[in-house]
Amino acid sequence: MVTVRPARVDDVPQLARVIVRCWQETYRGLMPDAVLDDPGFVPARERFWTAALTDDRYRDNVTAVAEHDGALIGVAMSGPPLDAEPAWSRQLYVLYVLAAHHGTGAGPALLHAVVAPDQSAALWVADPNPRAQAFYRRHGFEPDGTTQIDQGVREIRMVRRS
């Protein structure tokens, strides 16, 4: 049974560990191992998530976590788009679920917790990452032809129109 709820500041240590593990599962081979295995990675993620959940700069963001048997297994965050004059109302900044919990419904539940199913939105997804891209397609997102390189990883933008 997966439960999705708003993230809290006391989730930060567990949330940071989940994010780092998800990055290691998702980006191994796409990013340098030195980045993924850096001993400072978890503390850096703790600092980010503390700010994301407490700093006024992130007040318009929505962050949710998924739990299974009392342990965090995933996280999602959306917020206002950073693009000038975007054609969508939300940006999905984060959606990760531990690989052991893929297929449990945690991903769709997290997505819907931070972006309404009928809401226009955009996101960046690693390319190649066929599993994630297929997930987003099932939820109405389509590549719009825009690419970028972020931390050495090629990403494509996917957009869902309302």
Nearest-angstrom CA–CA distance, 16 and 43: 8
- Residue of 96, 95, 91 whose CA lies nearest to 120: 91
pLDDT recorded at residue 150: 86
Q: Is residue 76 part of a domain?
A: yes
Q: What's the structural domain count of the chain?
A: 1
Residue 117 preceded by cis peptide, ω within 30? no
- Residue of 95, 120, 118 whose CA lies nearest to 23: 95
Whole-model pTM: value is: 0.95
Q: Is residue 15 part of a domain?
A: yes
Q: Is residue 73 part of a domain?
A: yes
Within 13 A of 27's CA, how many CA atoms are on the CB side? 22
Supply the range of the domain harboring residue 6: 2-116
pLDDT recorded at residue 100: 97
pLDDT recorded at residue 162: 79
Query: Structure tokens of 122?
Result: 């955009």
Q: Is residue 132 part of a domain?
A: no
Residue 6 pLDDT greater than 90, yes or no: yes
pLDDT recorded at residue 144: 96
Q: Is residue 45 part of a domain?
A: yes
- For the stretch 92-107, pLDDT in tens is 999 999 999 999 999 9
- CA geometry: angle 32, 33, 38, nearest 5 deg: 110
What CATH number does residue 26 fall under? 3.40.630.30
Q: Is residue 140 part of a domain?
A: no
Nearest-angstrom CA–CA distance, 115 and 118: 8
Q: Is residue 105 part of a domain?
A: yes
pLDDT recorded at residue 101: 97
Nearest-angstrom CA–CA distance, 63 and 94: 9
Q: Is residue 95 part of a domain?
A: yes
Nearest-angstrom CA–CA distance, 36 and 130: 20
- For the stretch 13-64, pLDDT in tens is 999 999 999 999 999 988 889 999 999 999 999 999 999 999 999 999 999 9
